[in-house]
Amino acid sequence: MKLTADQIAKIESSLSDGNIYYDDIRAELVDHIASRVEDAMEAGIPYERALIEVRKEINPATFQMKLLVASHLGFVKTIASNMLKGSVVLKGILLFAVWVLIINFFEYSPEVAEKHVKTISISTTLGLVLMWFWAGLLKNSQTLSVGNTLWLMICISQFALNLDLIVWLGLSPQIGIYMITFLLSLLYIAGLSEVVLQTKKVRTT
């Protein structure tokens, strides 16, 4: 049994208490509640009673948190798989080449180069994420999740890509800094491409 526009509007108004912050999650929750109410009405339960019972069973904050966690985990996998795409690898190589030119031009030692590369990568990512938030995309959970995920992956990489560890494994400091720089460049491009993709999707909907 399909709900009327007025019945759906009543579901939407019942979620106006501020527990759901993101517009896309709100729309998904309305669809979920509507589907559950329709099933209850098919079983002979009146609309008003069905809505009350379904609303008691669903915690909007928990529903939102589950979707956000799933989105973040999904984007970790997506960004990681993006790192294997040819176009991303090519752009990552170009960014890496720029870094190598800078490192060699200023004759940075591997230790100093590591600090500069990591500092600039994390500050640039933070700046881009903040600019993207200010662009009015904070109300969409997908754009929020992909921005958060890129930021978290860049932060974690600061510890995972460690020059001392690479040297301890037997590689030279020079090879180590090139390895760190290339992987950071690749991660940055892979994440940024997904941020752009998700932003375009929001802009066109």
What secondary structure does DSSP assign to 123-173, as a single string?
HHHHHHHHHHIIIIITT-HHHHHHHHHHHHHHHHHHHHS-HHHHHHTT--H
- Note whether 50 and 129 are same-domain residues: no
pLDDT tens digit sequence for 24-33: 999 999 999 9
- Note whether 49 and 72 are same-domain residues: no
What band does 136 get if pLDDT is binned at 50, 70 and 90?
A: low
- Note whether 121 and 171 are same-domain residues: yes
Q: What pLDDT, on a 0 to 100 scale, did the predictor assign at position 133?
A: 65
- Note whether 54 and 116 are same-domain residues: no
Q: Is residue 63 domain-resident?
A: no
- Note whether 44 and 130 are same-domain residues: no
List CB contacts of 25: < 8 A, sequence separation 6 or more. Answer: 63, 64, 67, 68, 141
- Note whether 82 and 144 are same-domain residues: yes
CA 102 to chain centre: 30
Query: What is the count of structural domains for the chain?
Result: 2
- Note whether 36 and 129 are same-domain residues: no
CA geometry: angle at 31 spanning 78 and 6, to 5°? 150
117 burial via Cβ count (<10 Å: 0-12, 13-18, 19+) = buried
Buried/exposed code over 186-198 (b: 16+ C-beta within 10 A; e: otherwise): bbbbbbbbbbeeb
- Note whether 99 and 158 are same-domain residues: yes
Both tokens of 125, joined, read 């990512």
pLDDT tens digit sequence for 86-98: 999 999 999 999 9
What band does 129 get if pLDDT is binned at 50, 70 and 90?
A: confident
Instruction: Pick 135 or 93 by higher pLDDT.
Output: 93
Q: For the chain, give the mean pLDDT.
A: 91
- Note whether 93 and 140 are same-domain residues: yes
The predicted model gives 92-119 an average pLDDT of: 94
In which domain, by residue range, is 126 found?
68-203
- Note whether 51 and 74 are same-domain residues: no
- Note whether 90 and 117 are same-domain residues: yes
- Note whether 183 and 126 are same-domain residues: yes
End-to-end CA distance of the chain: 28
